[in-house]
Structure 1
Amino acid sequence: MMNKLILGRYIPGDSLVHRLDPRAKLVSSFYFIGIIFLCNNLPSFAVMGAFTIFAILLSKVNLSFFLKGVRPLIWLILFTVILQLFFTQGGQVYWSWGIISITESGVMNAFYIFCRFVLIIFMSTLLTLTTPPLSLSDAIESLLRPLKAVKFPAHEISLMLSIALRFVPTLMDETEKIMNAQRARGVDFGEGNLMDKMRAIVPLLIPLFVSSFNRAEELATAMEARGYQGGEGRTKYRQLKWRLKDSLCILSYVALTFALLWARN
């Protein structure tokens, strides 16, 4: 199970993408998600796809990790694609039955939705695989720092995100241990109908919740014992430094925007 988990997982490396400032990677990822909705034809999606593949190659991370990132969301992607395929009207009609039909516009929109989902997941996975969770937390806090003028808890938000990312693999490991213990006691999580499978999950959820609350209490006690009292007056062990390559990274996304606008026309 741990090998299948991508969320919150960091793959150590020394590539150009790994060495970028986490703030540059975070801003670039959100910018990418924003401009991908400008894609409206095959050339524009080809530009975005080529840029994504180039970024993956620069990271030197195996492509299999990115495919694993798509796997947990495959049913959501297929559900959205099917809705677009059967309920979008326009263009030539290929097949029709009642209110359900497959049209030229439906096929194109379904393909575009699929490409958007996959490219967004790939770029988000690239961010988490090449950025340590603590660095990502520091980047979020740094970017939200101007909001402190309106009493926005930037430090607390970044702390919650970093703890959540840090403990996702731990909780998955705990889930695997509990499942193995339940299987040793004769529980089969794959037998029966839907209701039987849901009942089989109950013995898994209860000990997992108990373990999570105990772990949260232990973490809070450890933080209090070390004198944690919030973000006020705290110094930083990890200092973020913006370099020329980070500026070039942002400029590359600006250039991508112009290429995308050219491909749209």
Structure 2
Amino acid sequence: MRVAVVTVGDELLSGDTVNTNAAWLCEQLTDRGVDVARVTTIPDDVGEIARVVNEYRAEYDAVLVTGGLGPTHDDVTMEGVAAAVGRDVEPHDAAHEWLTEEGGYAAADLVDGTTHLPAGARMLPNEAGVAPGAVVESIYVLPGVPEEMKAMFEHVAEEFAGEETHTAVVAVDEPESELVDRLADLQERFDVAVGSYPGDAVRVKLIATDEGELAAATEWLEARVELVDEDVATENASSE
């Protein structure tokens, strides 16, 4: 399963808000064996939301959109998603019923537009806030507030699945540039995906669908690199 993640918000593009939602969603999806093929941040603009979502829904199995839900002037994500699939935004009976019966809100207290979703959408309850989410075709629309987004994702998590993968990390005490040939050789010999991440040490991450293949690749690599001394690594971790 290949998906795209779209985060919406002018505040993300200006740097006023750190985009933690994208990182969290990517981690959750990857853990479920899903291939996150694209992460994109776009402004609170109906036309831009519609363009990007329409493009991605044609290319990927699912699109997850976070941010811009609610009845205020800059919450236009539902309108953009509706435009992407050629539908209108209209009052949603299930959203109204959930907010007034399960959410504990009086109908008179709901701001106009709170329960408006794309026509025919499946409503996703917001157990940590007010604005409901929605599923429209292969598009999942979640809130931008992290606590609300995480709680709502739990309602649809089981709908995202892929081939189970296994991971190993090798901490290498060598410059990343000196590992290029050995990592290329590793990928030629074994059916694994390889990533390297510099820092106090170079973390080489191996991912495979077969545990035996992963174990063999890890053993091969560890025999051909200078490993970080475990005692030193523990001391450094303790002093942080």
Q: TM-score, normalised by structure 1?
A: 0.21
Instruction: Identify which of structures 1 and 2 has the higher relative contact order when contacts are C-alpha pairs closer than 8 Å and 6+ apart.
Output: 1
Q: TM-score, normalised by structure 2?
A: 0.23
Q: Which has a greater percent of helix?
A: 1
Q: Which has a greater percent of strand?
A: 2
